[in-house]
Amino acid sequence: MKQQYDLIIIGGGMVGASLACALLPAAKRLALSIAVIETHPLAQDPLSYTPSYDARATALAYGSRASYQLMGVWDTLREHLSPIEHIHVSDKGRFGAARLHADDENVEALGYVVENHWLGRVLLDRLQQPDAKKCIDFICPAEVTALTPQPGRMGVTLYQGEEAHELSAELVVMADGGRSSLRENLGIHYHIAGYDQHAIVTNVSPQQPHGGVAYERFTDSGPMALLPLEDQDGLHRCGLVWTVADDELDSILALDDAAFIARLQERFGYRLGRFVKVGERFHYPLKLMLAEEQVRANLVVLGNAAHALHPIAGQGYNLALRGVVALAEQLIHSREAGQSLGELAMLERFYAERLSDQQRTIGFSDSTMKLFASRNPLLGLGRDLGLQLMDVCPPAKTLFARSAMGLDSPAPDLK
């Protein structure tokens, strides 16, 4: 194992692996040496798609596709993506509804749904290719236990089994997810607001094909999203994200499959006919979390480690991916200019530019959540009118669609 790198990425999850892939196109030309350190072992079998009924899925904004194209993984990724051709937003028990169509926006899809395990496999497989291995060391299973500032660098202590190693890099990127103790040890503080809600995530099979529609349905007990997925074993399949109040969680999780389906049916209605099967249920506490400090000299905090938001608008990973691409572009420019990758002034510029996107995206998710959670009848009427207005007003729809598709951010440039 080498001891000195230009860049060390802690965490080979969706965000850490994306950053490594984003730097690959320029890494050889710029002679970048990169290490990715990940706790979980890598899958050893060749890249293949294993359909799973019990997998979590992510809605990728249309704009994210340009990033994957530049990383060189889009053609593989799209083998198992489900395009979102229409979005249907409705408010249970009220008249408001809005529909967005890819055709109206002149795009092939408004977004894509990818199963997280497929996205992870594609990114990690890219990092295992011979050209990638020349500049990227994937160190796993290994756990980073401490970070120590050093003059002009950041020291990293990692454990592989019982064995400790000391590495260092000009820049360390913490892409270690939402539950790491490393940030606490560094004294990084967070703004945290709980929603008193959990997301129940599972796959369900409706009788009727989903037709490429992503449903966003607001109910008096919380919003639910139904995302189109590939059929499996002759059954249609959708990914369900169902937001429930904390005090309802245990009773809903205790339901058997038939009772769960009945409850879901009552909440979602019969737009897709009857639900005939449900997979394993996973649940996640929902909170809004924003790191108050995301850069220091030789250190960046990225992805879920930096921010977590309500999944209502499917924006968390898309926001993180825009951060990944912006950081990769900044690092490439710094290297070309002969500057250290860990220079504080450069990292502060990067952070200042990211903060406005983070605040806008978090604000949108948070206010949508609060608007639709409100039981105030006047607000209910207002949102119905808003949905109806958007449905009949093409410019308003396009504005909303471009924002949801991630097309209101500049195109990435990773060369």
Q: Is 291 in the site for ligand FAD (CB under 6 A)?
A: no
Residues 167, 158: contact at Cβ < 8 Å?
A: yes
Q: Does 201 bind ligand FAD (CB under 6 A)?
A: yes
Q: How far apart are CA 95 and CA 81, in angstroms?
A: 32
Paired sense of beta strands 222-232 and 235-245, if any: antiparallel
Q: Does 244 bind ligand FAD (CB under 6 A)?
A: no
Please select the residue that binds ligand FAD; options are 25, 30, 33, 39, rule is CB under 6 A: 39
143 binds ligand FAD (CB under 6 A): yes
Does residue number 405 form part of the binding site for ligand FAD (CB under 6 A)? no
CB of 175 to ligand FAD, least distance (A): 5
Binding footprint of ligand FAD, residue count (CB under 6 A): 33
32 or 142, CB closer to ligand FAD? 142
Give min distance, CB of 226 to ligand FAD, in A: 12
Q: Which amino acid is present at 23? A: L
Measure Cα distances from 339 to 19, 32, 331, 333, 346 in Å: 19, 13, 9, 9, 9
Nearer to ligand FAD, 172 or 380 (CB): 172
Report in angstroms how near the CB of residue 315 gets to ligand FAD at its nearest: 5
40 lies in the binding site for ligand FAD (CB under 6 A):
yes
Residues in the chain: 415
Decide if residue 311 touches ligand FAD (CB under 6 A).
yes
- Residue whose beta carbon is closest to ligand FAD: 13
**Any contact of residue 11 with ligand FAD (CB under 6 A)?**
yes
CA-wise closest residue to 277 among 83, 88, 54: 54
| Nearer to ligand FAD (CB atom), residue 319 or residue 332 | 319
Q: Is 223 in the site for ligand FAD (CB under 6 A)?
A: no
Residue of 111, 16, 73 whose CA lies nearest to 321: 16
Strand order, beta sheet including 81-84: 57-61, 111-115, 81-84
One of 16, 222, 380, 406 touching ligand FAD (CB under 6 A):
16
Cα(225)–Cα(399) distance, integer angstroms = 21
Q: Is 229 in the site for ligand FAD (CB under 6 A)?
A: no
Identified binder of ligand FAD from the candidate list 7, 20, 26, 37, rule CB under 6 A? 37
How far, in Å, CA of 96 to CA of 110, rounded? Answer: 21
Regarding 63 and contact with ligand FAD (CB under 6 A), the answer is: no
Q: Which residues contact residue 124 at a Cβ distance below 8 angstroms, ignoring those fewer than 6 apart? A: 12, 17, 42, 43, 138
CA distance 90 to 216: 6
Of 317-376, binders to ligand FAD (CB under 6 A) are 317-318, 320
One residue of 20, 119, 175, 312 binding ligand FAD per CB under 6 A? 175
15 binds ligand FAD (CB under 6 A): yes
Q: Which is nearer to ligand FAD, 316 or 342 (CB)?
A: 316
Cα distances from 313 to residues 238, 358, 368, 405, in angstroms, run 17, 14, 8, 11
Q: Quick one: which segment of 102-110, 171-179, 350-358, 364-372 binds ligand FAD (CB under 6 A)?
A: 171-179
90 binds ligand FAD (CB under 6 A): no
DSSP 142-164: -EEEEEEEETTEEEEEEEETTEE
Nearest to 86 by CA among 209, 214, 239, 223: 214
Least Å distance, CB 31 to ligand FAD, is: 25
Report the alpha-carbon distance of residue 95 to residue 415 in Å, rounded: 49
Tell me how far, at minimum, the Cβ of 286 lies from ligand FAD, in Å: 7
Write out the residues near ligand FAD by the rule CB under 6 A.
Answer: 10-16, 37-40, 58-59, 143-144, 175-177, 180, 182, 199, 201, 241, 284, 303-304, 311, 314-318, 320
